Chains A and B, each alone.
Chain A
């Protein structure tokens, strides 16, 4: 079969094409895969790719050498990442000057450059392959499996890796009911945060009265620090499209929408390219693969409102109205976009579908816990050694994610809490680190799975400030429609501000809890209903920190200005005079060989001495 400009006319064409593409790859061909995910790109990987491409073009070697852009590998902490085939040699923190050497030594010479390999800081051992690195070894990659392998801008790459075979299977041998049954067997629950059983949603939408029906992909990932969906859309856009195609077939829809944040230009670009390639090859459009399914997808870019991740707000925004949620007294599967039955799933949910179809619902259901099946992608960030994107089986403990994948807390500090579930998630303290990560367990702890944000905090983190940070974010992002969210959050923020300013009042905690109850019980949408989680969970696990702020006017983590003071440790002070000279208000006195002293009345708590002291003799107390 011709591998150029094919247009598929039947399900069997996909497999034939895939084989043809693979057949063309010579056993001795070499590939340099450069990550151009957002993390690596920010560190200059585009230029590195360009250099590899030029090197490959200019190479006189008789072996075919190809430089390839690929999506996020997840190990963003160590980017830019370059992988060389054959051998799957993974180089990390590659810089421009390294390109020539990699090309010469590894690509052409087949020799490994030790210096660019990952080195385990604890053991000092180097790993030349991803699977040898603990960060990857503990993960189980389904959704992210092909991220880092395929060029997201080339549909042939996706198909060569088995892409669209699930669609072919569905269209050649499954009824829509079969598809829903398979998804049901997998136990897949929505990855956007709600955890609603996907098959049940599909079935409701399929059975809902009204035409046309829409399927929507929610790519409005708004949580600060989260980039799971982004990496999927950027790195493997066809997996989302294939998932939506299968969903459309199961539900009976002819039109899909992908709602992407405008702040994700690369995702928009790659999705756009993927959609037009899929159209060209007959995978979107009329009578797909010669059958009865007709389906197309449009991309809509969001305007930057966090609340547009909420399904009804998203649909309002899709309709061109202000992104404001509505009361869901009628479910969107019955009356959603333009008052028509609409099935909305998140990016990761859609991306799971092809694998479920290919390998079967039971295979998927074998992974995970009783009520939470499969894997979940988390963006692991904060005070952890290995930040990045990780995909783990449901049921893994928080401790394993943080310690084994994340490499533990940075700089030898003590772990204090992990915040899961995005801004409206909760903070989980050390005593619950052995909790198994699934929908229900996290909820029990007052947090949630959310869309998969995971922020690790060390001992220097003030939990009241954390609560304030997230409350402020949510307050600003509240659409302002319902009273509890609009004014309740504003009041909570007001009180938290008072507490971190050292002006907390007796009764503030009770008032916070009251307002939190009001939000949880009466807010109109999920944003409001969960918005109090950061406050509630920090009160629940770190009440002593609140008490210290309010009662003692002291911030135990020494983050809240005014609620701690600087002192100089007599023992450690070498009387070098650096702090004395640096102090802008002449609050420090001392002479040579005499430990310096801070005059607390003069000190404005600017922290200059603390920053400048070469002996860490200045302490926060």
Chain B
């Protein structure tokens, strides 16, 4: 803790710490010093001059935001002089601010408005604006947001948040003096600038000068009801406030509170502008049943009845293992728990899996083997204080935008050293000391070479290895052969860069590894993860703050879906189905006969459909017809399966194959919890009423369970969580009343447990950390004469997963209308391809037509495609070859060719 300092503000003594401003201390203690240019996320600038205070011993008033507290300081925040100043400053602001409160969206939230009231500005002051009809500006025509210079008070918060927090550097001021206006460089339209549509500018604007375009006229701030919930997009788990106009049952806009955990009020484009799907007219409103080849409206009774009949029949004919279920990383913990319980206890099979299989199955497998737990070891908030961050195979700014803020902050503000290993020149490279552009599929060679250097140069943490790990000697043997020079031949990364990276990582006081699907989606995925675990243990970077091995989970609740046992081999809390003791425990808890055999994984389920051993498939909130590899094969299976149930919010590509479609609640309509990537269990709350006859996912599952004769009874989501706590020690202390305001991080063993910030402190979950000797293996498919390119697939910032949700937003669609393939400009030239041309990309499995995006993001000989777009589905091309341990398919490497159309 930094030094405590006592100051007197308005006659009362308060304690603050060195470096805090008078304003910080005052606001923290409930003394409301008026301010307009202050945002705790930003460096103080002292430009609005409203927070002036009198300080004993100083002749002139001082801005409290820029004034650091000093011992014995005596401050008065409201004197006659100060009030007069504030009144004049406010009057001046109304020369530039049009007082159109009656028609302004911000009415009720606008700070200027409330100060105008507080300081009782006269009517004359409020109507003196020199407002003229605005000329077109950088937001004209943009569907996400709009800037009204007539309401702008030039506080600069939008410009500063864009620079200091988002670091997109899209906004700037132009002109001087009273002509000052916010704009982009060269007045470019917003979507052509470096803007990433995070909308942070809107969030910090103290007036209504920047606002959501789609919120305009849909309800004033004073009439909106805020519901705190957890964002439904990625695994960061940002806390968002859905601002609903109750008269219209509509989410008008999304805000987030500064100071909230884990996102401190920051959001990305999807969280801010991607909620249009909730009230979208294409939402499913009634059950559908396929009759004569067509999906037709049906009643719930008809749908449930049909499902019960079919499932009962198939189970009696072919046994419980002929039925499989795909649970959902988009649904709540409670939904997942009930779903897997139904499959296990209601049907009697362990054939339950979900899309974690396609993203982090290898992480769970690898880290569980090495450390005893498959989750992110540390917390999001710790990145900003790490001394070194090694990002490998994670395009954090696009896939986990709010976590990327912490990485940039670490580098820019706290002088951390960043190493980026990625085949693409991702945005983070700009902040990196080193960019290791390894050939896709060669990660083990790269990491082993780094370990080779660390051991060779005696930079490893011998004490840690000795006391906390085992199996080190074998690993030394395995990395010995992988010299940087040898690795250079395999990875194309220069040997010296590998050396430099190894030294940087090993010498840092705290080094944090961040990885994601660039590591996991390989036939060597588990090996990749194991070698990262080796690297971290080699340098003693596990079990300490701002270090660790940190897989960033993709979906909003993929962590929770795994935690709650939507996996074929484990019950909730990673308890093995094949462990007799555990098996017995669950049979007792669930009062059912359970299968002791590990079930099928996602891709295995589809293969089993092909060979006829799986006849019925129940899909809750997943879209395998777009998300799974080798789509032609997957879609054939969806067509073939005898009985397909799809439970969803939209008629997704997969639901179109279904025999029965069940309309479900979206996250904005339900109560429950999500678990984010840092193991934090956070509340999901109902903000709007559901459309039509849609039902809560877990209730639908319970309805089906009752119909097949194995009833499950719950009053509400909270009750389900209580049951989870009773069977899963990781969640042992979780209950809704404990996570009302801030979520808890598992392991949380009992009601008094405070949750766990970082794992493996003092001791690994499995006792000793285990080194695994891992040797480089080639990917399943390599380029050849016919298919000369290496194709990788992945995500982009603006869309999410299969686009079911994100592509419903006009603002997002405007920025990211369709798919593309990235190609190096020299390769493009060779093929006569220009940027924007239509080209065909094909592999042995299929072909798609898409647009060429020509540039330098990928190196020569490599291609990259985002997989979100149904009109050019990248997964037509991907390889469904599996990692032998984790059964994750190799999305990141396949051999492809291109052809100009």
Contacts and interface: CB of A to CB of B under 8 A. Distances in A.
Interface of A: 305, 322, 326-327, 329, 475-491, 514-515, 518, 521-524
Most central of B88, B96, B176 by chain A CB within 10 Å: B176
Interface in B31-75: 44-50, 52, 60-61, 63, 66-68
A478 B92 CA distance: 15
A490 B128 CA distance: 13
A476 B63 CA distance: 25
A483 B34 CA distance: 14
B177 A475 contact: yes
Contact of A480 (B52, B61, B92, B179): B179
Interface of B: 44-50, 52, 60-61, 63, 66-68, 85, 88-89, 92-93, 95-96, 153-154, 156, 172-173, 175-180
Contact of B92 (A329, A476, A481, A483): A483
Contact of A476 (B49, B156, B176): B176
A481 B66 contact: no
A327 B175 contact: no
A322 B46 CA distance: 17
A480 B180 contact: yes
A478 B63 CA distance: 19
B150 to A, nearest CB: 14
A475 B50 CA distance: 21
Given A327-B63, A482-B46, A482-B49, A522 B89 contact: yes
Contact of A477 (B96, B154, B177): B177
A487 B45 contact: no
A521 B63 CA distance: 11
Contacts of B178: 475, 478, 480, 486-487, 489-490
B177 A490 contact: yes
Nearest to B156: A481
Contacts of A479: 176-177
Given A329-B66, A522-B61, A484 B92 contact: yes
Given A327-B63, A524-B47, A478 B176 contact: yes
Given A327-B45, A480-B178, A490-B177, A522 B93 contact: no
12 contacts: A322-B173, A327-B45, A480-B173, A480-B176, A483-B49, A483-B92, A490-B95, A490-B178, A491-B92, A518-B88, A522-B49, A522-B60
Contacts of B92: 483-484, 486-488, 491
A518 B93 contact: no
Contacts of A476: 176-177
Chain A interface mostly: helix
Contacts of A523: 49
B154 A480 contact: yes
A486 B95 CA distance: 11
Nearest to A522: B49
Contacts of B63: 327
Contact of A487 (B46, B50, B96): B96
B840 to A, nearest CB: 45
A487 B89 CA distance: 9
Contact of B95 (A326, A475, A477, A487): A487
Contacts of A489: 177-178
Q: Which 7 A-B pairs have the closest CB atoms?
A: A480-B180, A327-B46, A487-B92, A478-B177, A490-B178, A329-B66, A327-B66
B93 A487 contact: yes
Contacts of B47: 481-483, 524
A322 B153 CA distance: 19
Nearest to A524: B46
B68 A480 contact: no
Given A481-B156, A514-B88, A515-B88, A524 B49 contact: yes
Contacts of B46: 326-327, 329, 482, 524
B85 A486 contact: no
B176 A477 contact: yes
B15 to A, nearest CB: 21
Given A478-B178, A482-B49, A483-B154, 10 more contacts: A305-B176, A322-B173, A327-B45, A475-B177, A480-B173, A480-B175, A480-B178, A481-B154, A490-B177, A524-B46
A521 B95 contact: no
Contacts of A481: 45, 47, 154, 156
Contacts of A491: 92, 95
A122 B96 CA distance: 56
A479 to B, nearest CB: 6
A488 B85 CA distance: 12
A322 B172 contact: yes
A511 to B, nearest CB: 10
Contacts of A514: 88
Contacts of B153: 483
Contacts of B154: 480-481, 483, 486
Contacts of B88: 514-515, 518
A480 B67 CA distance: 21
Most central of A476, A487, A488, A490 by chain B CB within 10 Å: A487
B49 A484 contact: yes
Contacts of A486: 92, 154, 177-178, 180
A480 B60 CA distance: 21
B89 A518 contact: yes
Contact of B44 (A327, A482, A518): A327
A326 B49 CA distance: 13
Nearest to A474: B177
Contacts of A488: 92
Contact of A521 (B45, B85, B96, B172): B85
Nearest to A518: B88
A322 B50 CA distance: 24
Nearest to B62: A329
B631 to A, nearest CB: 49
B177 A483 contact: no
Contacts of B93: 483, 487
A469 to B, nearest CB: 16
A610 to B, nearest CB: 36
A515 B87 CA distance: 12
B60 A521 contact: yes
A329 B89 CA distance: 21
A515 B89 CA distance: 9
Nearest to B50: A483
A141 B40 CA distance: 54
Most central of B92, B156, B172 by chain A CB within 10 Å: B92
Contacts of A480: 154, 173, 175-180
A485 B154 CA distance: 12
Nearest to A482: B47
A514 B88 CA distance: 9
Contacts of A327: 44-46, 63, 66
B362 to A, nearest CB: 43
Nearest to A520: B60
Nearest to B163: A321
B528 to A, nearest CB: 40
Contacts of A322: 172-173
A482 B47 CA distance: 4
Nearest to A523: B49
B415 to A, nearest CB: 12
A71 B577 CA distance: 93
B48 A483 contact: yes
B779 to A, nearest CB: 44
A478 B178 CA distance: 8
A522 B82 CA distance: 10
Nearest to B175: A480
Nearest to B155: A483
A102 to B, nearest CB: 48
Nearest to B94: A487
Contacts of B67: 329
A202 B175 CA distance: 35
A529 to B, nearest CB: 9
Contacts of A478: 176-178
A485 B176 CA distance: 11
A481 B175 CA distance: 11
Contacts of B96: 487
